[in-house]
A and B are shown apart, each in its own frame.
Chain A
């Protein structure tokens, strides 16, 4: 290799920026680059945080003195509901996702996440969903049933206004964004790391994000399902949670906490990742027990799915259940214990530098451990009963969430600020900000434990002076305003540093991870060339790595093709397998999200005919999205004839320079994205089955006079889809084997049979005498049919697109990759189509027969 000159490096920088940069002016809205999208997530989250903080200040002002008349009960209900909703759904999760999207590719040594358009789409969904929710607040019709929207309070009878609709639709919109980010992060972390960065050499932050992303994939579907069911109940009168029709309000709580318990760890894990990244850097030694810490993150993820009932001790669950879950709750102490002791040991062995980020980490350790201890208290059933729904719970929750999420987040913010902006913030202001926040927080919430023990309930808008809670509340309010002042100082510090901050030196904290090898602020392509990694601490091992990367001495420094390229590597050992070519700037994510927002607004205003029209437009946009892939001229057109031969890198040993493009192989990001998405989908279906069986165990469940479904027709339509699925798999095998004849015929046949299945299913649904608004049983049957129809119609549409793409030769027996991507969807849809007659028609028969 010739010795690179500074001029050569500048040339590379110019060419890569031309390929990876955002469009100028308004075109920046079409950006799909993870750096831009991640920053937007974080900035939007910060704005929502400030709004949520203002609500908190209003709450504290109202409670500062007894018999206060500043707010009436109705406004107060809206305020605490919105405060919780904003902080949980519009601040905590999106900001952490944004941080992850921004940092993960930089830490794993790649140029972008693998599904850039999904990232941008997720951002716009979040933005529009958040705006929809906020609008309700400013219009004075905000949700007021608490951030967990318990039924029956939130159903159409007891909340006749539009408040819960805003919550349900807005939050579902934001959740779609969260799940898409979860899928994107999972696949990106597993399949696009720098060569040699095996899973055991991965920065511990990326491990946390991997576990978080997987938990989002499995944890969010229950709430998405619950929200859809409740919205259907409110809007269409389908009684899923109404007792008279056979529903059960407790089902909502089960589904909510099935999401809500993992959610606590979804918020905590990235924060723990920040702490595990910062502590070794400020102690200047590797993390003690890296393997055990990673293990504890995994264990935490597993345990969190088994414990949801301990949020429901006072809703009337059996006494035995309370005892069991009280004991099982103690399990969480094992993984958290491993983490805390590993952090302490790292600090113990190192020489700790108490910079501003380290101060916030120390604050985290103190507050989070206290919150954990009150958590142990709350896991004890008698104590739980005593303090249930008092301010003790509020204090505990804030210790865990502010301590476990906000403090590490600000620590991370100060730590990565030089990377974001290239400038250093003020040390003095930073310390003021910390001590004000820390002092204010503890004044507010330490005292609030006592307020709760003295019996003050949550969610009351005022109290009389005889109760004796006045002085505690006043002090809590004063503390709240001190904390607000601390946050104001942080905001001022960050605003000022952009203008007056001194230029940050390279790698200012002397850190070990790859993101510090970049220019500050980082260029849109991150790395000029992709280094090979041989340890957990690349920057401590090789002090010249940053210069080598910038000089283009490593992989992928070629720019002549003009494509956005990243390495597609093997999951475990990060051996390069292919080059993934990513889509560039695109307006489609913005358009799709905007149309979906209009769809939401249509539902909110109950103009359903318009909603159907808008939904079909959004479906068209989403399908158009998949056109610009693979060998499409806008993506990676075939350069020469023999390029089209399928290249399977695991079969032939080839030099890295000759890695094939992923769309020319049998494995690629899309296939993995499909699999992970189907895992989320299957979780939703499992929750639906749970709801179905849950219906059958309630003592008073009105049943229809006779089985509403025509079994032979149902089975017939299932046979049709099975046949079409077999045909699809047959053509897939042919395509992979390189036999072109008959593929088009089979595609057409599969589509025809599938279309017949769709028509038959629709006919069955329309013809059945289902009593949708009076029987939970029939409402559930109708819902599962809608679920099935959604899948089979989508499979049909995707296959029709494949026919057109096959005719344009963007896919063919030489390029069978896209057949492989769609195949899991076909299989899944067929399984669903068979489980409907078996479980939704067969189960009742068995139940009644006994």
Chain B
């Protein structure tokens, strides 16, 4: 049921010519940007985890990230050709792709190898910036039309999660906490492959969480607000743990101030998107009731 609703949730295609023009414009803007980001990374030989530099493992991991992102862009572009899309959504989607490329393949990734704060910035970008913005651009109809329909059995169970904000929040919370335990955290820091997998976990669960919350209907609105509040609380707890720890938790060589900054980025800076979303949701819920 949920699947059908999602699949049919797109507007009829607009006149093909105008649409294709727009689409091509966007794609032609986005691809050079993406490529530019990647090209920028070449000369900086010190940069790890990019497809063009570092050890073999790092190159492979970087290539996988880049490939997945590029595949997403191409799928979406193909879908845009088949079903209609609002131009603001389309531009937004590509812009978020660029942000994602910069944060996963850019210099942040390199600094993150030695700095907990930079690593946390990367995580928070994925969790509270990229994932919710992607959800706001409503890319699913395009992705489905672009080729995800063939993979339906793979992601169908995920749609069930989306209809239950509480469950999505629990999954997302588990992903966040598990990857911030010293054992798994260091696993990701030391192995580029695990690092890529960590990012995938964050993006996937965050995507499900934000989707379930931001696209909640009036019936699940209260549950969505509670799920957000829960996430606000537990990320705050995790941030507080990092802020108040009196020993470096992840690598003994790292400075304590760096770890404290990481904790605060999660606790305070990370709280702002949640608070914004809470306010927005409460307001939307209220205006719906008033009708």
Contacts and interface: CB of A to CB of B under 8 A. Distances in A.
A321 B264 contact: yes
B241 A320 contact: no
Contact of B234 (A572, A686, A847): A686
* B183, B244, B269, B278: residue with the most chain A Cβ atoms closer than 10 Å: B244
B279 A299 contact: yes
Contacts of A305: 229, 232-233, 236
Contacts of A331: 275
Given A250-B244, A850-B182, A299 B278 contact: yes
Contact of A306 (B260, B261, B271, B290): B271
B233 A686 contact: yes
Contact of A320 (B184, B247, B260): B260
Interface string A687-699: 0011001100111
A303 B275 contact: yes
A516 B244 CA distance: 53
B181 A846 contact: yes
Interface stretch (A290-298, A416-424, A618-626, A724-732): A290-298
A846 B185 CA distance: 11
Contacts of B56: none
A218 B181 CA distance: 26
A697 B181 contact: no
B275 A309 contact: no
A567 to B, nearest CB: 19
A849 B184 CA distance: 10
Given A302-B229, A324-B268, A694 B289 contact: no
A218 B234 CA distance: 13
B240 interface: yes
A675 B245 CA distance: 34
A23 interface: no
A250 B234 CA distance: 19
* A198, A302, A317: residue with the most chain B Cβ atoms closer than 10 Å: A302
A573 B185 CA distance: 47
B183 A320 contact: no
Contacts of B233: 305, 686
Interface in B208-257: 218, 222, 226, 229, 232-234, 236-237, 240-241, 243-247, 249, 256-257
Contact of A850 (B186, B222, B247, B279): B186
B290 to A, nearest CB: 5
A254 B240 contact: yes
B267 interface: yes
Given A302-B232, A686-B234, A317 B243 contact: yes
A392 interface: no
A299 B183 CA distance: 37
A850 B186 CA distance: 8
Nearest to B278: A302
A694 B275 contact: no
A318 interface: yes
Contacts of B236: 305-306
A325 interface: yes
B155 interface: no
Given A320-B260, A694-B244, A843-B181, A295 B275 contact: no
B241 A693 contact: yes
Given A299-B282, A306-B236, A686-B233, A321 B243 contact: yes
B246 A699 contact: yes
B283 interface: yes
Contacts of B275: 299, 302-303, 306, 331
Contacts of B256: 318
A328 interface: yes
A199 interface: yes
B286 interface: yes
Interface string B256-291: 110011011001110100010011001100110110
Given A306-B232, A697-B244, A699-B246, A291 B278 contact: no
A320 B261 contact: yes
A746 B260 CA distance: 53
Contacts of A535: none
Contact of B257 (A199, A318, A327, A847): A318
A690 B267 CA distance: 14
B260 A298 contact: no
A318 B268 contact: no
A766 B184 CA distance: 33
A168 B222 CA distance: 34
A200 B287 CA distance: 9
Contacts of A302: 229, 232, 275, 278-279, 282
Interface string B181-209: 11111100000000000000000000000
Interface in A686-717: 686, 689-690, 693-694, 697-699
A299 B285 CA distance: 13
B246 A698 contact: yes
B237 A686 contact: yes
Nearest to B233: A305
Interface in A207-258: 218, 250, 254
A697 B246 contact: yes
B245 A325 contact: no
A429 B185 CA distance: 68
A847 B229 contact: no
Contact of B183 (A295, A306, A849): A849
Given A306-B275, A309-B240, A690-B237, A846 B184 contact: yes
A295 B232 contact: no
Contacts of A200: 286, 289-290
Contact of B182 (A328, A572, A847): A847
Given A694-B244, A850-B183, A318 B278 contact: no
B270 to A, nearest CB: 10
Given A318-B243, A699-B247, A850-B186, 15 more contacts: A200-B289, A218-B229, A291-B287, A294-B286, A305-B229, A306-B232, A306-B236, A306-B268, A320-B260, A324-B264, A324-B267, A572-B289, A686-B233, A694-B241, A847-B183
9 contacts: A299-B275, A302-B232, A320-B243, A321-B260, A689-B237, A694-B244, A699-B247, A846-B183, A849-B183
Interface of B: 181-186, 218, 222, 226, 229, 232-234, 236-237, 240-241, 243-247, 249, 256-257, 260-261, 263-264, 267-269, 271, 275, 278-279, 282-283, 286-287, 289-290
- Top 9 closest A-B pairs, CB basis? A697-B245, A850-B182, A850-B183, A846-B183, A318-B260, A324-B268, A699-B247, A324-B264, A298-B282
